[in-house]
Structures are given as structure tokens and as C-alpha cells.
């Protein structure tokens, strides 16, 4: 039987070999090739479309891609496009394509209205005029988001362009009116709804891959063959840097389960992937495939214990401080995600891997250091009027300290962290019960405030790797929305009474100026550490497994290019392929 | 004829009740299919979740204010026309999704059921006839152990041993991407080769289950008076085994066979995910994860209809084999 199957295996081996790399991802099926359609285009995104530049978080450097250069003035961004950039059907990529893309994303996604107008100055120059209240960080979005320039080739989408521009303009009008605190009249709303729905229907029904028999892309690779299990991308021969690419074909295996990806990595069927793996699987994996290397990069986020400030329990800073002292973070990390980076003993809101660039020693001297110490936790509680009878702590009002710790069930690593944390808190003398949030219900539970404390993302620098992004989450956006931390209140600091909300606003305006930003960050770091909107547990990492069995040229483990991976790992592969670094053996 | 007519009326009532149950169950499930999209919109644009949800509903064509009754009427009307609904996640008709995925699932589970039923029946009968002997003990013990292993664990084992270590089965997919689907021998062999993993993961626990069930039934039949009478009549052991014992012991398993097919239709999800096999299990997993109620209702309905109809066919077959059932 074994012999028969082995011989079949030999018979099935592919004959015509082109230099290819095998990766794992997901994509919509049936594949439509419509970036505005359901499920968009899956893992083909970063190969099919290209941003004006790549941003390397580790160095703060921008690498030009579709843009040759750019100029940023107050309220204006002027971009000079590559003259040799072409679509995969041979048509020139021009400023008009950028105008078209912006109109379509504004019309279809009701975003980014921060772009008030976009104008083609000439074939290769495009000028963005920003809305007066657009944050400075939005320039970063323009430069690095692949949606900004190449989603809707004007020669393909031109028949709907006028419609799209009309919808986009109405959308902007409504947005600006609402942002000014004014009411939008019903006629405008109705007009917008009917025009938007009509356009949406036509664009959603458009299936380039079926109707045009191809998906026209400006990026390095175009999808050419797709089944439910595999997707093949072929090098776009018109790509501006195609001559440098040694790899001509990308084969994506569908990421149907982590087990499938582990098996594919071990057997060399996939050359690179980033699944989460328990330690024993990694050990086994390296034993079976010694050519497999691992590089861990920060996923630009931290996992934290978040509190619901809408409930009375955690309004008391003493209880939060006691928890901060008694949690054994290293142990939580070990049982949850063993490869993750330890959280620091300072809870500054700055990711541990980035702390040295942003928080000065002068500031940390002023701050409480949360080294695990149950005795300190006990003393804080006792001083605050809490009492311990037997093995149970009681609030100053005599009620037992009891609460639930919610965690999203399908995230196994979070559940492990929650279990360990519950045990630690119970051992200390609190009465804590772990509560699982069912699949698909995480955001509803968290945003609905139906929890007391929970495991969640704390500070995260996704999209724009800058402290502003993290503080905005903590004090103005996602985390603030779920915790209800009183961010507008002014807190005592060595710099006087300050509100983290106002400081975040201040940071927004100076985010691109590191010197000025550092000064604001010190104050925010202090408030975050002393008033604990969340207690960080560990910094999440992205483990990248790459094999040298069939592919050579992987960068060294210290190469800053790896830090481009979080939020779009294909960008790293794309960069390495199109710069001619990766080669088939 | 009256028997069949009664059964058909009963079938229609059961279908109506079961499908209504499916509809209510899925529609009462917590979650909103647009929530995932809303969260990413809200994160990307720093927008309040309520506003983002409004946009997501609009983008996915969902009307959250539509009443349950209106949805139920549309659901039943659509089903009567053979329309299984619309997937909000894939923005595609559920029929289209079923048409693409169901053949792969049916191919594997029907093959697995066929093989496991006959192997299990043979092993169970054999084991019962060798009751108390070492071979019986081995068969029973191995079957009990295998039956206790969840199919997805077995799938992982088969994947790692068969595909990774021995490299005798493909890692995943239904056929290699470089091969064009056709009715050629080459393509059929490749399809069979790619089906080995999911087939084994599905069939092995079923073989164990059928073996144990058949062993129990056979042992019971062997105790019946008519078997003793046949022995006294001096009939050959092989005749008694094949004509009297096997047929009578197999009879109750025929009805279970139909239910097994239905159960396997729904329970195949994890096996398909592990083998990256393109069947309906894949879509089932996605439908649950993304709260795609349209797709979930459609797939559930398909499974319920499948189970009820196969059970109905089994009952008819049972009545044909055993006239006592008709008379009752």
C-alpha cells in the first residue's frame, strides 16, 4: 500500500518547474478579483496593489514603492509617481488612476474623507488636499496604505467614475457637516443613500476575474489560477521592478487550519508562514525540518488586563495597583504565548520593544515600578481600608472582593492567560471567576460593557507605528470605548494637573516630530503608569517561520525589514522578492 | 401504498418542524454578521462602532430592522423554490456555494460510509462469531479505542504520519492546482489520491462504530431460538452465519446508516479544515465564525433535509426487507 502511494506521489510530482515560493493565506472563493467585493482579494492584496511607500517601524524609514518622492506641506501632500509603473495589461499607471482609486474608496467605503480633494497635476504628479481637521498622522496613511492609489484602474472603472465622484462628494459633505456638529438635511441623506446604493450594487456585481478573465494589477504579481485550496500568482511582467525578481510564481495554500500550516511547514510544502505554535510543536518542527528558521518580531501590540470603569469595582486605583503588583507577568506569558516579549515593570503605554526610544530614564525615576510583589499589593489594600479574613479579601464596605474575568473563548492563548491570571488572583484572596465569551461575540460583549475585567489588546501601534496610535487607543478610541476610563479628567503629575485625552490630542499634532513628541510622551507615560487604565501582561509577537530548503536569500535575523511584517506580512515577502533577494534553489 | 402515503405526510410535517427549528435557532444566535466588518471599519477610521455598524450593514446589504416573521416567510418561500438563501459574507447565493462544495463532501463521506459500513459489518460479525477468543478481544478493544478518538485528532495524526513523515498522501486540497479538472483517468486518480487523508479520518472511526454495533447485534441474534433451531436442523455454520445471523443483525443498522450520512455531513467540518479539503465543512466553519446567518441557515437546512430524507429512504428500505414493519 505504502509503495503504491509512494509511486503515485512520484507520478504526481510537478514536471515543469518555475522558480516559485509557497506561502499560506486565505482568499474569497469563488474568487472575483474585486477589491470592493465580499472578502476583497485575500492574501493577494499586498502583491496585487502597491502603496506609495513602505514604512519600516524599526528605523522609521520610508521606502519608496509606487511613488518616487513626495512633498508634505501644511494641508497638502504632493506625490511624484514612478514613470515606469504599469498595469498588468500593459497600460501606463498615471495620476488619473490615483484620482479614480480615491473616488471609489470614498464612495464604497465612506472613507477617507480626510482627503478633501485629489488632483492630477500631470501624468506623474498627484496632489492631495487634506480636510482642515485631518490629523497629521493621516499623511502616513496616504503614504503607506495600498488602497490609496491602485485599487481602481481608471481605464477599467471609468464608466462608473462620475457616479463614484458624485457619491464621494455627497459623503464628504455629510461627514464635514456632522463633524462640525451640524445636522444633515433629510434630502441630502436620501440623495446620498439612493446614489450610494445604486453604485454599490454595480460595483459589487463586477467580477474582474470572471468578466475580464483577469485581475488587472499594478503590483508585482497577478492572480492567475485559483481553486478552493490553492491560489497561484504570476509575476506581472510590466511591474516597475519585475526585472529584479528571481521568483516568478507564488503558490498560496489555503490557511484552512493551523494544523495544516504546521504540517505544510514541516514537510517543506510551504516556504514561509506565521502560525501560532505551542513550544512542543516548534521543537518537533525544528527537529523534523532543521532548515526551518524562526524570527520573532513585535506584533506592535500588547495583551493586557483591561478594566470596566463603568462598574464600581475597578474605579478604585488601590485595587488596580494591588493587581498590578501581584500579577506574575512572566508566568502568564509562559503559559499563554511562550515566545512573546515580557511586559516591562513600568506600564507606560509604550510597547516594551520601543520603550528605549520614547521613555527617558528621568521619567521612569518618577514612576512606580510594578515588580511582582504580593506583600506590596497587601500593604496597598490594607492602607486603603481593605481587610483579609481567612483567605478572602473584603472591600472597606465589608463586601468580599469578587469579580469575573472575561476572555474570548476561541483565542486559546488568551484563555490560557486568563486561567493563569484567575488562579493568581484567587490564590491572593480575591474571588475571581473566569467567564468565556462565545465565538463571534467578543466585540459585542466588550463594546456593550458586559464584563468586569477582561483580557484584551491594550496599547497597539497597528497602522501607524507611533506612540500616538497606542495612546489614542487607550484614551480616545477602541480601549477607551470599551473601558470607559475617564480620560478627560485631569490627573496629578510632576508637570501639574493633566488630562490624558488632551495630551493625546497634543501628541497627534506633533506625532511626526520625534523631539516634540517625546516631551508629550513622558507625561502620557507617567499618567498611564500611575493611573493604570490597563495592566499589560506581555507584548504580542509575530513568529515568522521561513524555510531555507528551497528558497535562499532570507535576510539576517537583525534586519529591520522584518519589522514591516505586522499587519501585512506579505509586504516583507513582496519587498524581498521584488528586490531580487529571494531566490529558488 | 397507504404506508408510503402516511410516511410522506409524516415526512412533510417533520421537515416543516425541523426547518422551522433551524431557522429559529440560527436567527436567535447571538452576534451580528456585520460586526467583524464594523470593527475593522471603526479601527481603520477611528469611528464610533454604531456608525461603523451602520456602514457595514449597508455594505453587506443587511437590514437589521427586518422582522423575524418577514425573514421566516422569505426563508420558507425560498426553500420551496429550492433556494437555500444568500450568504452575506461571500455576497453569493448559498446554492452556488453548495453546488461547488457539496460534491467534494459527498464524495468523501459516501465513499467513507460505504467502505466503513461493509468493513465494519464484516469485522463485527466475525468478531461476534469468535466471541471470547483473542481475535475478538483485539477487534473489540481496538474498535473501542478508535471510536473514542475524535475524528479531528485522528485527522491530525493521519496528516502528520501520512503526509509529513511518510509522504504517501498529499498535504491538502482536492487535486493539484496544475491539473485541469476533467473526466480523464489521470484526474480521477489524483482526486482519489487527494481524498485518502480525509477519507481515512472519516472512515476509520466509522469502521470502529459499525464493528462494535454489528458485534453487539450479532451476539444478540446468536442467542435467538431460531438460530438454535437452525443448528438443531443441522444447517451448515456458514449458512447459519450468512443467511440467518448476518441479515438479522444487519437489519437495525440500515436505519442508522442514513442517520450517519447526515451526521457526517455536519461533522466533517474539522476534518476538511485540517486537510484543507474544499467541501461544505469549510464553509460551515466560516459561516459560524462570521455569523453568516444566511449561509448557516442554508447549510443547516441542507443537512436537516439530507438526514430526514435519507432516514425516510432507510425506513422504506427497512419495510421492504422486513414485512413486519409494514404490517405494524
Angle at B21 between CA B17 and CA B27, to 5 degrees: 145
Give yes or no for A184 touching B (CB within 8 A): no
Please check whether residue A370 is in contact with residue A555, taking contact to mean a CB–CB distance below 8 angstroms. no
Residue A13 has pLDDT above 50, yes or no: no
Distance CA A17, CA A325 (A): 59
Q: Which three cell numbers stand for residue B189?
A: 486518480
pLDDT for A12 beyond 50: no
Q: What is the pTM of this model?
A: 0.82
| Chain B 142-161, residues with CB within 8 Å of chain A CB atoms | 155-156, 159-160
pLDDT computed for residue A536 by the predictor: 96
Q: Nearest by CB to B282, which of A111, A256, A263?
A: A256
The reply to whether B180 touches chain A by the CB within 8 Å rule is: no
Residue A7: pLDDT over 80: no
Q: At what angle do helices A279-288 and A258-266 cross, to 10 degrees?
A: 30
pLDDT above 90 covers what percent of chain A? 75
Most confident listed range (A505-509, A555-559, B318-322): A555-559
> How many C-beta neighbours within 10 Å does residue A344 have?
21
Contact A196 B58 (CB under 8 A): yes
Q: What band does A10 get if pLDDT is binned at 50, 70 and 90?
A: very low
pLDDT of residue A413: 84
Residue B46 contacts A where some CB pair is shorter than 8 Å: yes
Instruction: State residue B323's pLDDT score.
Output: 65
Cell numbers of A48, please? 496585487
A314 DSSP assignment: G
Which residue of A lies nearest to B43 if distances are taken between CA atoms? A478
How many whole angstroms separate alpha carbon A406 and alpha carbon A450? 9
How many Å lie between the alpha carbon of A228 and the closest alpha carbon of chain B?
6
ipTM of the complex: 0.76
pLDDT of residue A15: 44
pLDDT tens for A71-125 read: 999 899 999 999 999 999 999 999 999 999 999 999 998 889 999 999 999 999 9
Chain B residues within 8 A of A253 when measuring between CB atoms:
171-173, 276
Mean pLDDT to the nearest integer, A260-266: 90
Q: Measured between CA atoms, how close is B327 to chain A, in angstroms?
A: 49
Mean pLDDT of the region A15-20: 71
B286 inside 8 A of chain A by CB: no
Task: Decide if pLDDT at A5 tops 70.
Answer: no
Chain B contact present for A194, CB below 8 A: no
Cell of residue B159, nine digits: 496528516
Residue percentage of chain A with pLDDT more than 70: 97
Out of A197, A256, A443, name the one closest to residue B276 (CB). A256
Q: What is the pLDDT of residue B53?
A: 78
The verdict on A204 touching B (C-beta cutoff 8 Å) is yes
The partner residue sitting opposite B173, judged by closest CB among A5, A14, A229, is A229
Average pLDDT, chain B: 84
On whether the CB atoms of residues A437 and A410 are closer than 8 A, the answer is no
Question: Any alpha helices (H) in A131-231, and if so which ranges?
Answer: 138-144, 154-179, 186-205, 208-211
Cα separation of A538 and A332, whole Å? 8
Report whether pLDDT(B133) > 50: yes
Q: Degrees (nearest 5) of the Cα angle A372, A377, A378?
A: 135
For residue A558, what is its C-alpha cell? Answer: 537583525
- Categorize the per-residue pLDDT at B40 as very low, low, confident or very high, splitting at 50, 70 and 90: low
Mean of pLDDT values over A277-298: 86
Interchain proximity B274–A197, CB inside 8 Å: no
pLDDT digits (tens, 9 = 90+) for A132-154: 988 777 898 899 999 998 999 99
Contact with chain A for residue B276, Cβ under 8 A: yes
**A115 min Cα distance to partner chain B (Å):** 13
Q: Which residue in chain B has the smallest CA separation from A40?
A: B90
Q: pLDDT (tens digit, 9 = 90+) per residue, B138-197?
A: 999 999 999 888 878 899 899 989 998 888 999 888 998 888 888 899 999 999 999 999
Q: Which of B76, B73, B56, B75 is nearest to B64 (CA)?
A: B56
Mean pLDDT of A39-65: 92
pLDDT digits (tens, 9 = 90+) for A229-251: 999 999 999 999 999 999 999 99
Name the closest residue on chain A to residue B56, using Cα atoms: A109
pLDDT of B319 reads: 73
User: Cell digits for A585?
Assistant: 534553489
In the prediction, which pLDDT does A215 show?
Answer: 96
pLDDT of residue A346: 94
Across A179-193, A253-267, B34-48, B314-328, which has the greatest mean pLDDT?
Answer: A179-193
Residues facing A584 on adjacent strands: A551
Length of chain B as a residue count: 328
At B253 the pLDDT is 77
Q: What is the pLDDT of residue A294?
A: 92
More confident residue, B218 or A309: A309
- Report how far residue B215's alpha carbon sits from residue A198's, in angstroms, rounded to the nearest whole number: 64
Residue pair B132/B220 in contact by the 8 Å Cβ criterion: no
Answer yes or no: is pLDDT of B289 > 90: no
Chain A within 8 Å of B283 (Cβ-Cβ)?
Answer: no
pLDDT category of residue B267 using cuts at 50, 70 and 90: low
User: Residue A72: its pLDDT value, please?
Assistant: 93
Contacts of B193 in chain A (CB under 8 A): 5, 8-9, 12
Nearest residue to A414 (alpha-carbon basis) of A399, A435, A396, A433: A435
pLDDT number for residue A198: 94
Q: Is the pLDDT confidence value at A575 over 50?
A: yes
- Tell whether the model's pLDDT for residue B46 goes beyond 60: no
Q: How far apart are CA B309 and CA B3, in angstroms?
A: 16
- Chain A residues whose CB is inside 8 A of the B290 CB are 440
What DSSP assignment string belongs to B47-70? --HHHHHHHHHHHHT--TT--HHH
pLDDT(A14) > 60: no
Q: What are the pLDDT digits (tens) for A419-435? A: 999 999 999 999 999 99
pLDDT for A6 equals 41
Q: Which of A534, A536, A530, A535 is closest to A491 using CA atoms?
A: A530
Q: What is the pLDDT of residues A501-549, one digit of tens each?
A: 999 999 988 887 889 999 999 999 999 999 999 999 999 999 999 999 9
From chain B residues 14-43, the ones with a CB under 8 A of any chain A CB are 30-32, 35-36, 38-39, 41-43
Contact A227 B288 (CB under 8 A): no
Task: Pick the most confident of A405-409, B9-13, B228-232.
Answer: A405-409
Burial class (CB in 10 A: 0-12, 13-18, 19+), A466: buried
Interface test with A, best of B102, B105, B172 (most A CBs within 10 A): B172
Residue B108 sits at the chain A interface (C-beta within 8 Å):
no
Per-residue confidence (pLDDT) for residue A397, from 0 to 100: 94
* Inter-chain Cβ pairs, chain A and chain B, closer than 8 A: 152
- Cα(A555)–Cα(A297) distance, rounded to whole angstroms? 13
Chain A, nearest residue to B30 by Cα: A441
**How sure is the predictor about A4, in pLDDT bands with cuts at 50, 70 and 90?**
very low
Span B64-84, pLDDT tens digits: 788 888 889 988 999 999 999
**A337 vs A304 pLDDT, higher one:** A304
Amino acid at each position: 500500500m505504502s509503495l503504491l502511494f509512494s509511486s503515485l506521489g512520484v507520478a504526481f510530482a510537478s514536471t515543469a518547474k518555475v522558480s516559485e515560493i509557497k506561502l499560506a493565506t486565505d482568499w474569497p472563493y469563488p474568487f472575483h478579483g474585486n477589491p470592493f467585493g465580499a472578502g476583497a482579494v485575500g492574501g493577494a492584496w499586498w502583491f496585487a496593489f502597491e502603496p506609495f511607500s513602505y514604512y519600516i517601524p524599526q528605523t522609521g524609514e520610508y521606502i519608496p514603492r509606487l511613488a518616487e518622492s513626495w512633498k508634505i506641506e501644511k494641508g497638502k501632500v504632493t506625490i511624484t509617481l514612478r514613470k515606469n509603473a504599469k498595469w498588468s495589461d500593459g497600460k501606463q499607471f498615471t495620476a488619473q488612476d490615483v484620482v479614480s482609486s480615491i473616488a471609489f474608496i470614498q464612495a464604497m467605503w465612506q472613507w477617507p474623507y480626510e482627503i478633501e480633494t485629489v488632483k492630477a497635476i500631470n501624468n506623474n504628479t498627484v496632489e492631495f488636499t487634506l480636510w482642515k481637521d485631518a490629523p497629521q498622522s493621516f499623511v502616513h496613511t496616504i503614504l503607506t496604505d495600498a488602497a490609496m492609489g491602485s485599487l481602481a484602474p481608471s481605464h477599467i472603472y471609468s464608466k462608473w467614475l462620475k457616479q463614484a465622484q458624485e457619491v464621494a462628494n455627497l459623503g464628504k459633505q455629510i461627514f464635514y457637516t456632522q463633524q462640525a456638529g451640524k445636522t444633515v438635511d433629510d434630502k441630502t441623506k436620501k440623495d446620498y443613500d439612493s446614489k450610494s446604493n445604486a453604485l454599490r450594487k454595480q460595483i459589487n456585481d463586477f467580477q474582474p476575474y470572471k468578466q475580464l478573465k483577469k485581475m488587472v494589477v499594478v503590483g508585482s504579481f497577478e492572480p492567475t489560477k485559483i481553486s478552493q485550496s490553492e491560489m497561484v500568482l504570476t509575476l506581472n511582467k510590466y511591474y516597475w521592478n519585475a526585472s529584479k525578481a528571481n521568483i516568478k510564481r507564488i503558490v498560496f495554500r489555503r490557511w484552512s487550519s493551523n494544523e495544516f500550516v504546521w504540517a505544510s511547514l514541516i514537510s517543506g510544502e510551504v516556504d514561509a508562514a506565521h502560525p501560532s505554535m505551542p513550544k512542543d510543536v516548534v521543537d518537533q518542527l525544528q527537529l523534523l525540518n532543521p532548515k526551518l528558521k524562526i524570527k520573532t518580531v513585535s506584533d506592535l501590540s500588547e495583551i493586557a488586563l483591561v478594566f470596566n470603569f463603568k462598574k464600581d469595582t475597578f474605579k478604585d486605583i488601590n485595587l488596580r495597583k494591588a493587581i498590578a503588583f501581584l500579577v506574575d507577568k512572566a508566568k502568564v506569558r509562559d503559559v499563554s504565548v511562550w515566545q512573546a516579549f515580557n511586559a516591562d515593570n513600568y506600564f507606560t503605554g509604550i510597547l516594551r520593544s520601543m520603550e528605549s526610544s520614547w521613555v527617558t530614564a528621568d521619567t521612569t525615576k518618577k514612576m512606580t515600578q510594578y515588580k511582582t510583589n504580593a506583600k506590596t499589593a497587601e500593604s496597598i489594600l490594607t492602607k486603603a481600608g481593605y481587610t483579609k479574613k481567612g483567605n478572602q479579601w473584603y472591600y472597606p464596605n465589608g463586601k468580599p472582593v469578587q469579580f469575573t474575568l472575561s476572555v474570548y473563548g476561541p483565542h486559546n492563548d488568551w484563555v490560557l492567560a486568563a486561567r493563569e491570571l484567575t488562579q493568581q488572583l484567587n490564590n491572593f484572596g480575591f474571588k475571581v471567576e473566569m467567564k468565556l465569551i462565545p465565538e463571534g461575540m467578543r466585540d459585542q460583549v466588550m463594546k456593550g460593557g458586559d464584563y468586569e475585567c477582561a483580557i484584551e489588546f491594550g496599547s497597539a501601534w497597528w497602522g501607524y507605528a507611533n506612540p500616538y496610535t497606542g495612546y489614542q487607543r487607550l484614551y480616545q478610541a477602541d480601549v477607551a470605548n470599551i473601558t470607559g476610563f475617564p480620560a478627560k479628567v485631569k490627573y496629578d503629575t510632576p508637570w501639574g494637573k493633566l488630562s490624558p485625552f488632551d495630551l493625546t490630542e497634543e501628541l497627534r499634532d506633533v506625532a511626526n516630530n520625534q523631539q516634540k513628541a517625546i516631551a508629550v510622551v513622558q507625561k502620557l507615560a507617567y499618567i498611564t503608569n500611575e493611573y493604570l487604565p490597563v495592566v499589560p501582561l506581555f507584548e504580542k509577537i509575530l513568529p515568522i517561520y521561513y524555510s531555507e530548503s528551497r528558497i535562499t536569500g532570507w535576510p539576517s535575523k537583525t534586519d529591520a525589514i522584518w519589522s514591516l511584517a505586522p499587519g501585512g506580512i506579505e509586504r516583507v515577502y513582496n519587498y524581498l522578492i521584488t528586490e531580487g533577494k529571494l531566490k529558488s534553489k | 401504498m397507504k404506508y408510503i402515503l402516511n410516511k410522506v405526510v409524516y415526512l412533510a410535517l417533520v421537515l416543516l418542524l425541523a426547518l422551522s427549528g433551524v431557522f429559529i435557532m440560527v436567527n436567535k444566535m447571538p452576534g451580528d454578521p456585520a460586526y467583524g466588518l464594523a470593527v475593522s471599519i471603526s479601527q481603520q477610521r477611528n469611528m464610533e462602532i454604531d456608525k461603523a455598524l451602520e456602514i457595514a450593514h449597508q455594505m453587506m446589504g443587511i437590514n437589521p430592522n427586518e422582522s423575524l416573521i418577514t425573514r421566516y416567510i422569505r426563508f420558507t418561500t425560498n426553500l420551496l423554490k429550492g433556494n437555500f438563501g444568500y450568504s452575506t459574507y461571500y455576497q453569493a447565493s448559498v446554492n452556488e456555494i453548495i453546488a461547488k462544495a457539496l460534491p467534494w463532501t459527498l464524495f468523501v463521506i459516501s465513499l467513507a460510509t460505504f467502505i466503513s459500513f461493509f468493513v465494519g459489518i464484516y469485522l463485527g460479525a466475525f468478531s461476534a462469531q469468535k466471541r471470547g477468543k483473542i481475535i475478538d478481544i483485539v477487534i473489540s478493544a481496538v474498535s473501542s479505542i478508535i471510536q473514542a478518538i475524535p475524528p479531528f485528532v485522528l485527522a491530525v495524526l493521519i496528516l502528520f504520519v501520512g503526509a509529513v513523515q511518510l509522504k504517501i498522501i498529499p498535504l491538502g486540497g482536492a487535486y493539484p492546482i496544475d491539473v485541469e479538472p476533467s473526466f480523464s483517468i489521470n484526474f480521477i486518480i489524483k482526486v482519489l489520491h487527494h481524498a485518502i487523508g480525509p477519507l481515512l479520518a472519516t472512515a476509520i472511526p466509522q469502521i470502529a462504530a459499525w464493528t462494535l454495533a454489528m458485534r453487539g447485534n450479532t451476539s444478540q441474534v446468536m442467542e435467538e431460538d431460531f438460530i438454535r433451531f437452525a443448528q438443531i436442523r443441522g444447517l451448515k455454520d456458514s449458512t447459519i452465519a450468512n443467511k440467518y445471523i448476518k441479515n438479522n443483525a444487519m437489519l437495525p443498522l440500515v436505519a442508522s446508516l442514513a442517520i450517519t450520512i447526515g451526521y457526517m455531513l455536519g461533522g466533517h467540518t474539522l476534518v476538511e479544515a485540517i486537510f484543507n479539503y474544499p467541501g461544505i465543512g469549510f464553509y460551515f466553519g466560516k459561516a459560524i465564525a462570521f455569523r453568516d446567518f444566511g449561509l448557516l441557515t442554508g447549510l443547516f437546512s441542507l443537512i436537516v433535509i439530507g438526514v430526514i430524507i435519507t432516514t425516510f429512504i432507510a425506513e422504506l428500505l427497512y419495510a421492504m426487507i422486513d414485512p413486519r414493519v409494514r404490517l405494524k
